[in-house]
Amino acid sequence: MAKPKVAFYWCASCGGCEETVVDLNEDLLKVADAVDIVLWPVALDFKRKDIESLSDGEIAVSFINGSVRLEEQEEMVKLLRQKSGLVVAFGACAHLGGIPGLGNFWTKDTIFQRVYKEVPTVENPEGITPQEKTVFNFGEITLPEFYDTVKTLNQTIPVDYYLPGCPPPPDLIMNAVNAILKGELPEKGAVLAPEKSLCDTCPRKEGKPDKISIAEIKRPWEIKMDPEKCFLELGIICLGPVTRSGCGETCIKANQPCRGCFGPVDGVVDQGAKGLSAIASILGIEEEKISDEEVKKLFDGLVDPAGTFYRFSLPSSLLRRRRME
Amino acid sequence: MRKITIDPITRLEGHGKIEIFLNDDGDVDKAYLQIPELRGFEKFAEGRPAEEMPRITTMICGVCPTAHHMASAKTLDDLWKVEPTSAAKKIRELMYCAFQAEDHILHFFFLGGPDFVVGPQAPAGERNVLGVIAKAGMEAGGKVIEVRKRLRGVLRIIGGKPVMPTCALPGGVSKAISEEERTEIIDTGEYAVEFCKFALALFDDVVLKNKDYVDLVAGDIYKHRTYYMGLVDENNKVNFYDGMLRVVDPNGKEFAKFKAQEYLDHIREHVEPWSYVKFCYLKNVGWKGFVDGEDSGVFRVAPLARLNVSDGMATPLAQEAYERMYEVLGGKPVHNTLAFHWARLVEALYASERVLELARDPEITSSDIVNLPTETPKEGIGVVEAPRGTLLHHYQTDDRGILTKVNLIVATQNNAAPIFMSIEKAAKSLIHKGEVPDGILNMIEMAFRAYDPCHACATHSLPGRMPLEIYVYDSKGDLVQKLRRGE
């Protein structure tokens, strides 16, 4: 029997999703043995026409990482969708928009203004910015268009499954590959990670009080963080209550709070809104009568709600982006 | 008039393209490298709490997240004017050296080394990490996988995740190292030192004993007389984590020595309309275009630059390797771009020895790992040496530590102009009278691979497999010639 064909592609991403695949170590060789990799730009020769020449649906599964910000990325993922039985959004950027999705707070013009004109190291008296086409006396050269808005993969093509995380951990990748090889997949649209929230699997769960109340929000540098205690109990914002588990609690084990890269648990559309409401519900609840001034002071401790609760998920959220002027 | 486009359509689709213009005689008029890549981290960091930057800027690059993590940590120290505890500095440097060793080894065996170990003229299909293993032996292949796995284990112990570490705080780190973990790190350090000795011996055997390779390393195609920049410690030895930035001129004479906080007095960026990447140059020499020499502000960074600006290595075995390199290549500074590969191995050995030194330091398991900031934040600047060169972060905040302005000088940006020049020089030496020889693919790749450029990790493709294509157009724009690797 022919081995199933697999493609692995990257859009606007940082290469971390490729590193995590290499972190499969010996398992990578097992995967390479069980499937026929038809596309993996980091490691294999890639000819677009080879993909074009495949019949529709011939690739068993395409793993696609990175958000979509350039026209050519959009074309490539549409081609892969057409040729693939399954498409898996791989990693936080394809799944939710990821950190580059914070760019949706701005526009191309404001980004260009800062990067090419304003920063103190730039010497640019003529106010030059990159152009899609530059004409010289001997010819012209071009740059692809930089879009205003960062999009998730499922805002560009239909997606069958999601592998969450920044980056997805090797064990979840192996589980997904094995499930695909054995044909033991959950319902379409599923996130291939546990359904529980991070709080449910947190190593600090045992010592956590039944009811948490935050009297004052603390930032991670303001206190010496007790490596045993629940971050929320310490007053430090942690997205554990509204974030899917499966990451191996790596950040918690390094004594840092969760920032939500695994996205929301099942049934939650907007991780940021859910996070904000979860935190709001435990702010100062011990105080029966709390003055408006005290409420304001408490909420002032939340210094960057948008960038905190939507750290990884702005493009996939109901907000999606800042309104264009 | 003809135009040649080398369009590496992998990651480099949208991340790197070379355009070569020929004049009427069929010789190279101009060559352009374009990195169509911009994400705007400088802008969208505005409004974020500064302490989150070590966990945001890591996503600039998933191959070198630890470099951004550490540059950001040091910028936070400066922002809050808080000195990390002695143990915290050691933990940070230990993590950082483990990362440097791992990254350098990855580059040598997977990316750059195959050109030498397997050979620049070897069939493309063999010029990759598997070819290296075939030549060096299966046992060596196992060692490459093992050393990478173990060094990444150190990153996991200290930083949580090897891809996207999370442990940095202003004034220190969030997690201490246990005795048990220390034992594992010492084992890894010992293994890594032995591995690097093996790698240098392999370089000796395969490259230095072969006259063709030595000629290639010492030859003119890949040579540029430029300024160099890198961090040095108080004895002018190479340091990745801390110290002063030192610049030497093309004759190797000290041109400047300054603190990160003074970078605006020394570094400027030039903007071109055809590139998303900006080009760094020395302010006090000035931008004279894409040219080398004393009068051009173009400078180089990364392994060879660091060795050129320093007086040696701070560990004994690496010092021996350093002396040998300059002895063979005829003294300092070395201007041959391909010597970056050799310098990278010398640095990997230093990084491994330093991991071991720090892991054996009794203070490394101290629980005194953070000093809490007490000052009001305003402005901070921090620097580290990333594997690919000097990396600077510069933050301005309001008095709550919320970012108002951010500037980032990323390692490969410092090398952007030299990479461009190296490609043009290689193209000019190889293309004559409209003849585009087959070998140009790899010879041009070698010009930029030596820098290990990290244009969003653009060239982190396995050599020999990187699907370069060259299109040759006539003056009407019709395709007259098409070359593809391996065909």
Phi and psi at residue B172, to the nearest 5°: 160, -145
0.90 surpassed by complex ipTM: yes
Confidence (pLDDT) at A159: 98
Q: Is the peptide bond before B333 cis (omega within 30 degrees of 0)?
A: yes
For residue B19, the chain A residues in CB contact (below 8 A) are 141
Phi and psi at residue A96, to the nearest 5°: -120, -15
Q: Mutating which of A221, A226, A229 best tests the B interface, going by the most B Cβ atoms within 10 A?
A: A221
Question: pLDDT grade, residue A44 (50/70/90)?
Answer: low
Q: Is the pLDDT of residue A263 over 60?
A: yes
Confidence (pLDDT) at B14: 35
Q: Which two tokens stand for residue A206?
A: 């045992």
Mean pLDDT of A46-54: 79
Say which residues have a Cβ less than 8 Å from residue B348's Cβ, sequence separation at least 6.
B100, B101, B104, B105, B108, B196, B199
A297 in contact with B at a CB cutoff of 8 Å?
Answer: no
Q: Which two tokens stand for residue A168?
A: 């997805």
As a three-state string, the secondary structure of B257-280 is EECHHHHHHCEEEECCCCCCCCEE
The segments of chain B whose pLDDT lies below 50 read: 8-14, 455-470, 474-477, 484-487
All structural domains of chain B: 2-37+435-484 (no CATH), 83-221+336-372 (1.10.645.10), 224-335 (no CATH)
Q: pLDDT tens digit string along A187-199?
A: 999 999 999 999 9
Q: Mutating which of B9, B42, B163, B270 best tests the A interface, going by the most A Cβ atoms within 10 A?
A: B163
Confidence (pLDDT) at B110: 73
B360 in contact with A at a CB cutoff of 8 Å?
Answer: no
DSSP A275: H
CB contact under 8 A, B65 and A44: no
Q: How many helices (H) and strands (E) does chain A have?
A: 13, 7
Say which residues have a Cβ less than 8 Å from residue A48's Cβ, sequence separation at least 6.
A76, A79, B9
For residue B269, the chain A residues in CB contact (below 8 A) are 119, 121-123
Say which residues have a Cβ less than 8 Å from residue B482's Cβ, sequence separation at least 6.
B469, B470, B471, B472
Q: What is the DSSP track for B183-195?
A: HHHHHHHHHHHHH
Confidence (pLDDT) at B124: 59
Q: pLDDT tens digit string along B429-460?
A: 888 887 776 566 667 777 777 887 654 333 33
B201 in contact with A at a CB cutoff of 8 Å?
Answer: no
CB contact under 8 A, A100 and B39: yes
CA nearest to A148 within chain B: B39
B63 in contact with A at a CB cutoff of 8 Å?
Answer: yes
Q: Which two tokens stand for residue B271?
A: 């903007």
A119 in contact with B at a CB cutoff of 8 Å?
Answer: yes
The answer to whether the beta carbons of residues B79 and B379 sit under 8 Å apart is yes
For residue A69, the chain B residues in CB contact (below 8 A) are 39
Q: pLDDT tens digit string along A19-29?
A: 898 888 878 77
All structural domains of chain A: 5-99+151-182 (3.40.50.700), 108-142 (no CATH), 198-316 (no CATH)
What is the C-alpha separation between B229 and B249, in angstroms, rounded?
9
CA nearest to A102 within chain B: B44
Per-chain mean pLDDT for chain A: 90
For residue A105, the chain B residues in CB contact (below 8 A) are 44, 47
Task: Please measure the distance between the N-terminal and C-terminal CA atoms of chain B and give it in whole angstroms.
Answer: 26
B145 in contact with A at a CB cutoff of 8 Å?
Answer: yes
CA nearest to B287 within chain A: A123
CA nearest to B166 within chain A: A251
Q: Is the peptide bond before A167 cis (omega within 30 degrees of 0)?
A: yes
What is the C-alpha separation between A247 and B338, in angstroms, rounded?
41
For residue A19, the chain B residues in CB contact (below 8 A) are 62-63, 162-163
Q: pLDDT tens digit string along A282-315?
A: 887 555 667 788 878 888 889 999 999 999 999 9
Instruction: Please give the model's pTM, rounded to 2 decimal places.
Output: 0.93
A41 in contact with B at a CB cutoff of 8 Å?
Answer: yes
CB contact under 8 A, A10 and B55: no
As a three-state string, the secondary structure of B307-372 is HHHCCECCCHHHHHHHHHHHHHHCCCCCCECCHHHHHHHHHHHHHHHHHHHHHHCHHHHCCCCECC
The answer to whether the beta carbons of residues A32 and A5 sit under 8 Å apart is no
CB contact under 8 A, A20 and B163: yes
Confidence (pLDDT) at B15: 52
Please name the amino acid found at residue A13.
S
Confidence (pLDDT) at A309: 96
C-alpha of B427 from chain center: 23
CB contact under 8 A, B465 and A16: no
A112 CA: distance to closest CA in chain B (Å)? 8
A269 in contact with B at a CB cutoff of 8 Å?
Answer: no
